[in-house]
Amino acid sequence: MKSQKKFTECPSCHSKNVQTLGTDSWFCLDCDWDELSLVTQETDALISALRHGDRVARREAAQVLINVGNTEQDIASSADLEPLLEALNDEDDDVRYFATVALGKLGEIGALERLKQVARSDGCELVCQGALVAIERLTT
């Protein structure tokens, strides 16, 4: 049986900016570290949850998709660009933030203009910061 951990500090960068989603999913807002219990190879189910799920399901799907580019988990591909772009319009700040991070990791230059819009106009500072980081990743 897997024991539940509680993180108050990131094991990777030692930041205190660790967030939780559910009882056993953790991620750091300052680096790429996460401990997600939700990671799955079922990308179609994730995209469906991102598009049609309730607020919690959309958050979980968006958070899992942050693992874009992780060759061990290989979560999303360029085929998932459109659902991630759609998620930038979600009413939930966390879903929009996770989508910006995932888009930055996906590396699809087609997301650049939309990310620039988000960085300029989203009402949530964290989402704007996520978009700026994604833009930097796409342009360097």
Specify the CATH number for the domain of residue 26.
Answer: 1.25.10.10
Structural domain including 34 reads: 18-139
Residue 10, φ and ψ in degrees, nearest 5: -70, 125
> To 5 degrees, how large is the angle CA 112–CA 91–CA 81?
35
* pLDDT recorded at residue 117: 98
Q: Are 93 and 127 in contact (CB under 8 A)?
A: yes
12 lies in a domain?
Answer: no
| Torsion on CA atoms 91, 43, 104, 21, rounded to nearest 10 | 50
Residue 41 lies in a domain: yes
In-domain check, residue 57: yes
For 42-72, what is each residue's pLDDT tens digit? 567 778 888 888 888 888 888 777 765 554 5
HSE-CB for 31 with a 13 A CA cutoff: 11
Asked whether residue 112 is assigned to any structural domain, the reply reads yes
Structure tokens at 92: 């939930």
Quick one: pLDDT band at residue 87, thresholds 50, 70, 90? very high
Rounded Cα gap, residues 51 and 42, in angstroms: 15
User: Considering the chain, what is the average pLDDT of its residues?
Assistant: 80
Sheet holding 26-28, edge to edge: 18-20, 26-28, 34-35
Give DSSP secondary structure letters for 28-96: ESSSS-EE-TT--S-HHHHHHHHHHS-HHHHHHHHHHGGGTT-TTT----GGGHHHHHHHTT-SSHHHH
Q: Total structural domains in the chain?
A: 1
Note whether residue 106 is domain-resident.
Answer: yes
Domain contains 76: yes
Model pLDDT for residues 119-131, shown as the tens digit of each residue? 999 999 999 999 9
pLDDT the model gives residue 33: 74
Task: Flag whether 5 is in a domain.
Answer: no
Is the pLDDT score of 2 beyond 80?
Answer: no
In a domain, 126, yes or no: yes
